[in-house]
Chains A and B, each alone.
Chain A
Amino acid sequence: MAATTPAADTAQKQAITLKVNRKTYKLDVEPRETLLDVLRERLDLTGSKKGCDHGQCGACTVHVDGRTANACLLLAVMQQGREITTIEGIAPGGKTNGQERLHPLQAAFIKHDGLQCGYCTPGQIMSGVAVLRDGHADSPAEIREWMSGNICRCGAYAGIVAAIESVKKGDTIG
């Protein structure tokens, strides 16, 4: 906010390499660009959403080296050499019987209506995948606790918990 900060310091671009969804991207970014803005504005990966830009809502949740992170709180220049996964990178891809192949948790969100407006959904699913993988989905209470970094203003919490529970129980039909 200081009026005297010369723009050049923060705006000096640096060449970096980012690994996102198993693809390598070479790009020039300013040190002040967040990972979220680089994903959305530079790589056109707009699945990660911006709800607050302050690490308070979880809409921007991605995985960095297998751990959940709020992309709005990370600077892109600091993510070199890390494996970044976004909502666009978790489905196996391709089709089965003409139907798009989804990650089991994506399918479960649709089946259990764990979404309404869908704006929090990419972040919820990224957190949900981590909660399942890290073994924090043993009871509805545990799921609720570990999913509490993602706000859903539409109030789809019951469906979100049901979706995660169903994947935990091995119901992958979607």
Chain B
Amino acid sequence: MWVASRELATRWCVANSRQALSLVLDKISTLVWCLIQPMTFKNMAKKLLGDPINRVDGALKATGRARYSADIKRPGMLHGVLVMSTIANGKITAIDTADALKVPGVVNVMSHQNAPKLAGMDKNKPSEIATDRVLHVFQDDLVHYNNQPIAMVLAETLEQATEGASLVRVTYQTQPVKLPLPAGKADMSTPKQMPRVDDQVDTKRGDLAAGLAAAINRMEETYTTPTMNHNALEPHALLAYWEGDKLTMYNATQGISGCQKRVAEIFGMPKENVRVITQFLGGGFGSKGTTFSHVMLAPMAAKLTGKPVRLVLKREQMFGMVGNRSATVQRLNLATGKDGKLLATAHHSITQTSDFDEFAEPAGTITRMLYACPNLDTTHKFIRANIGTPAPMRAPGEAPGVFALESAIDEMAAQLRMDPLAFRLANYAETDPNKDKPFSSKSLRECYRQGAERFGWSKRPAQPRSLKNGNYLRGMGMATTVYPMNRGESTALVRLKPDGTVQVETATQDLGTGTFTIMTQIAAEVFGLSPDQVTLSAGDSIYPTSSVSGGSRNTASTGSAVTQAAQEVLKKARQMALKDPKSPLFNVAEAEIVVQKGGQLQQKSNPKVGEALTSLLKRNGNKPLEATVQSKQGDEKGKYSMNAFGAVFAEVEVDELLGEVRVTRLLGSFAAGRIVNLKTARSQVLGGMVWAVSMALHEKTVFDPRNNRVMNANLAEYHVPVNADIQEIDGFFIEEADDIVNPAGVKGIGEIGVVGTVSAIANAIYHATGRRFRDLPITVDKVLA
């Protein structure tokens, strides 16, 4: 923990902020959040299941007043439209811009022939950090994948730029194309590292061969998952402009602070010269956590033209340059002894990366720790293909990996004629078998029990194909779900004002998870106040540096910073009281002073003695108390395994004549530490479960095998669930106290809804039909085959 006074290094930014904002056509300042709905605070102890208050930004979003990055304008702004490559491997031999430049309103065409050179280009190489990708920013004539940005037309209106882009003629010298999975398996290699650098690439435990030899039952199957694209509903967008050597960007990013750092690094300029603002973010799911090429291209074009530039990706441009989920080919072996206990597990994953950068989808990491098993091998290999570099996509690795694992577990349970839930309980891991460490907390048994009870699991007949509803075969399936607790570094400032209100400042963003809302709740709880007394200033890099919203880490990271900064302020208030002869708490021991609801300081052993925080501050100079805390992981990670767990139950109906699969019921039970806001948290896990329906039944990016061009780069042919695809769906949380995991006591809920749900659906389809589907998505053609 690092405590500093409030000296923001970026003073120019603060001075600039008012000016910049006033130029934005929107008159309301959306940077400051006030709670509209008053709440009363009932319970002073940290609540395990927090109040389901409405989102602080709900009204702005529901009225259309919320300004997303593509909604921001600047006088004199140019519109940029990208020109994309139409080959997957080769070289640009000529770019003819003559016709494009003739279009009225077109002012320039930026390509490798005239793009500004970047001082930090040496940083554009495969990096230790998963979010720092190799970018295509017009510094050379090479093409590494189809649909790679190669030029950008700049015009006064969007229509002119669009027309101009259609008139740029490009000629290429082409090279043979390296195909993605499952075709391109020839050239496999072992990745140097996993995205979470402390995950090992390959692991071995015990003696796999001996475990297999001693087993009575064995299974071996291969599971495959396709390439997928994030497709947040908001296309990637930014407005960039320069004032001298200072750059401001309104950018749709999941990581304001990371984006600021990365852009500065590649431009080769100090971080303080870059300001990143994300007032509202229309989803991201990982594809906006990385600073991809467009984030550099807009400010480069602004530099080239001397004007503000807005760049909004077209939907079809989001299939390549902004990441994807790697396809996987996974071989699973399981072997059990006579009591149904696992004796051997092997999980071998092949994934894919691009030709120019490395991202290894960590599909096998959960297999190492989910069940007790003495003998286990896991390996990761990847192939290189002429595609855009994969990126983390909601539950990267865990989603495809656990689909394979939990399908295999279900297959083994069927082979043993054991109830799938009973089989999982028989192999319950009391401690983390991979790290050989205790769990900071694990309430999975409770998730199984309560989930099974609410779902009616006991009504599931053991035999597949035994339930019917008219023409439909009905089936029930379940799976374990899990997500590791990730925590990054975040800094927050908390200021308690003499009027009893609290100001929180941190450069975090809210991609729809509810971050802005729950930060006010976290601060309020420390002071015994109601959230409407807390104002959050966020969404802007002028505030203290904060973590990326990815890997379910932001509440653990930024929430911990807010918790610690608020606790630091409270400590200052306690000390002020005990040193103040006029305070009723004068000379009371610090540990004896507690805060009660309404912002009341009290003596613990004698609650009649105390005073309000407001009167204490007023008497002591009428000045605010504040603290800034940089919060990061301590040594708890070395001592414990920290994970959220859950159980998901699915019911499906399958029409075998039509090949139609319907998910009629989905229920998830989750234990993820403290839940700050039951309403937004439930939406998070339900959203994850909808993603699982999508992955199980709908999503697949299809490449043309001649040139790796994506053939379904639009929302009509890249299928995601619509409302009618989601029927009964619910999720609930188990109370779980965990004081070890982090100061906020939270584990993260953004991804756990997806992880196990995919296989719960596949397992339910098995139960309905008696057939296993090991290749996602489970579409009509496969059911009919």
Contact = CB atoms under 8 A, between A and B. Distances in A.
Interface stretch (B1-9, B444-452, B714-722): B714-722
B58 A47 contact: no
Nearest to A164: B723
Interface stretch (B232-240, B370-378, B559-567): B232-240
A118 B280 CA distance: 9
Contacts of B281: 117
Contacts, number: 198
A155 B25 contact: no
A145 B724 CA distance: 5
Interface in A144-162: 144-145, 147-161
Interface string A25-54: 000001011000100110011111111111
B68 interface: yes
Contact of A100 (B54, B59, B679): B59
A53 B238 CA distance: 17
Contact of A116 (B73, B231, B512, B726): B512
B720 to A, nearest CB: 6
B470 interface: no
A151 B88 CA distance: 30
B232 A47 contact: no
A116 B750 CA distance: 12
Nearest to B314: A53
Of the listed residues A37, A91, A151, A160, the one surrounded by the most CB atoms of chain B closer than 10 A to its CB is A151
A73 interface: no
Contacts of A121: 61-62
A160 B724 CA distance: 12
B159 interface: yes
A3 B715 contact: no
Interface in B53-105: 54-55, 57-68, 70-71, 73, 99, 102-105
A72 to B, nearest CB: 11
Interface size class of A (residues with CB under 8 A): 35 or more
Interface string B140-172: 000000000000000001111001001101000
A86 interface: yes
A120 B350 CA distance: 36
A71 B725 CA distance: 25
A147 B723 contact: yes
B722 A148 contact: yes
B686 interface: yes
Interface string A129-154: 00000000000010111011111111
Interface size class of B (residues with CB under 8 A): 35 or more
Interface stretch (B200-208, B423-431, B582-590, B687-695): B687-695
B282 interface: yes
A37 B513 CA distance: 28
A98 to B, nearest CB: 9
Given A116-B687, A119-B234, A51 B715 contact: yes
A78 interface: no
A144 B63 contact: no
B213 interface: no
Contact of A148 (B54, B62, B723): B723
A171 interface: no
A119 B513 CA distance: 13
A118 B282 contact: yes
A168 interface: no
A121 B65 CA distance: 11
B234 to A, nearest CB: 4
B633 interface: no
Interface in B697-743: 714-716, 720-727, 729-730
Contact of B63 (A32, A91, A151, A160): A91
A37 B160 CA distance: 13
A50 B235 contact: yes
Contacts of B687: 116, 154-156
Contacts of B68: 46, 49, 119
B517 to A, nearest CB: 10
Contacts of B724: 144-145, 147-148
B253 to A, nearest CB: 13
A110 B55 contact: yes
A49 B234 contact: yes
Given A53-B315, A154-B687, A41 B71 contact: no
Nearest to A117: B512
A115 B58 contact: yes
A165 B692 CA distance: 25
B270 to A, nearest CB: 32
Interface string A63-98: 000000000000000000000001110010000000
A125 B722 CA distance: 15
B726 A144 contact: yes
B62 A109 contact: yes
A110 B233 contact: no
Given A118-B57, A119-B233, A154-B687, 16 more contacts: A11-B159, A37-B159, A41-B157, A46-B64, A48-B64, A53-B314, A56-B716, A113-B58, A113-B680, A116-B283, A116-B513, A117-B281, A144-B723, A145-B723, A151-B722, A158-B726
17 contacts: A7-B102, A41-B157, A52-B715, A54-B716, A56-B315, A113-B683, A116-B283, A118-B61, A119-B68, A119-B232, A119-B233, A121-B62, A148-B724, A148-B725, A150-B723, A154-B233, A154-B512
